[in-house]
């Protein structure tokens, strides 16, 4: 099992976070790439230097986080104008180029709501846009992985398998399934062969609301979740994601220790 972490979980500057993650035995990391220290504005020299530093810490860049703060083709609950959609395509292509330079195999993003009925202008725009982005990623042996938004795993699976590219896949967060009242294990099986990036994240709560907690202390059935990933062919990183809590390295270390009980 390959274990990684989102650098944002450590709440340090990027290089300090990489070094710290390495000291506790993690092998990979996901880094935010739409703002902060590592973006498309990073020079060629800066990219080579960052890659060299990561390797010197014996760490692999397993993914770039490329969410732009809005759904694909949606903005403020309204359809984004074509001009805005084209900008999204171009910015995403630049992120794929950055992933190539940094040798990151995956770029995560948010597709958002997929129309459930085929046909129509919105369906065609999203479908053709993702076909283009997926083929662009494939050309560089990269994968664009969408987080699961409003569209359920079954519907998302049907949509992605209908694309004319294998460059579009899924970034799977089991805690999101729980907050939506869905079975995170069934979600993995519904998306068999389509998950390119998987998180280790947990939540606790219910109808009154959910709050994030350490893996193993919430509602995600991790043993069954990890087995389902294994049985459906997932071979990528299991990325610890911790947005709440004040423990930083302590929380990440505890999450790592918990996950290492399940050597699959």
pLDDT in tens, 192-251: 999 999 999 999 997 789 999 999 999 999 999 999 999 999 999 999 999 887 768 999
Judge whether residue 34 has pLDDT over 60: yes
Q: Is residue 214 part of a domain?
A: yes
What's the mean pLDDT when you consider all of the chain? Answer: 90
How many other C-beta atoms lie within 10 A of the C-beta of residue 2? 13
CA distance 78 to 141: 33
Sole residue written with tokens 């960052």: 50
Residue 140 structural domain? 2-259
CATH number of the domain bearing residue 140: 3.20.20.150
Q: Is residue 39 part of a domain?
A: yes
Q: How far is CA 202 from CA 9, 62, 177, 189, 224, in A?
A: 14, 21, 10, 19, 14
Continuous H helices in 57-211: 82-102, 121-139, 153-161, 174-179, 184-190
Q: In the chain, helix, strand, coil percent, each to 5?
A: 40, 20, 40
Tell me whether strands 74-75 and 60-65 are parallel, antiparallel or unpaired: unpaired
When divided into structural domains, the chain yields a total of 1
CA distance 228 to 43: 41
How many other C-beta atoms lie within 10 A of the C-beta of residue 131? 16
68-114: pLDDT as tens digits = 654 554 444 344 445 467 788 889 999 999 999 999 999 999 876 77
- Mean pLDDT, residues 1-26 taken together: 95
Q: Is residue 134 part of a domain?
A: yes
Q: Is residue 23 part of a domain?
A: yes
Q: Is residue 264 part of a domain?
A: no
- Predicted TM-score (pTM) of this structure: 0.91
Q: Is residue 153 part of a domain?
A: yes
Question: What's CA 121's distance to the chain center, in Å?
Answer: 28
């Amino acid at each position: 099992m390959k274990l990684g972490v989102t650098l944002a979980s450590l709440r340090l500057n990027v290089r300090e976070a990489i070094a710290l993650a390495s000291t506790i035995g993690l092998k990979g990391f996901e880094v935010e790439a739409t703002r902060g220290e590592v973006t498309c504005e990073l020079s060629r020299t800066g990219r080579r230097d960052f890659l060299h530093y990561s390797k010197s810490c014996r760490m692999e860049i397993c993914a770039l986080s490329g969410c732009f703060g809005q759904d694909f083709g949606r903005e403020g609950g309204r359809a984004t104008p074509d001009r805005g959609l084209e900008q999204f395509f171009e910015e995403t292509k630049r992120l794929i180029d950055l992933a190539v330079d940094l040798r990151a195999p995956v770029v995560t993003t948010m597709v958002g709501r997929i129309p459930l009925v085929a046909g129509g202008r919105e369906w065609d725009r999203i479908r053709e846009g993702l076909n283009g982005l997926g083929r662009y990623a494939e050309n560089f042996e990269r994968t664009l992985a969408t987080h699961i938004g409003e569209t359920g795993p079954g519907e998302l699976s049907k949509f992605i398998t209908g694309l004319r590219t294998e460059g579009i896949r899924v970034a799977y967060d089991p805690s999101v399934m729980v907050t939506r009242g869905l079975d995170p294990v069934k979600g993995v099986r519904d998306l068999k062969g389509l998950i390119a990036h998987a998180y280790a994240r947990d939540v606790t709560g219910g109808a009154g609301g959910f709050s994030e907690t350490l893996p193993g202390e919430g509602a995600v059935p991790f043993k069954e979740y990890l087995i389902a990933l294994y049985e459906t062919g997932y071979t990528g990183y299991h990325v610890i994601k911790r947005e709440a809590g004040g423990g930083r390295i302590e929380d990440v270390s505890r999450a790592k220790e918990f996950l290492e009980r399940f050597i699959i």
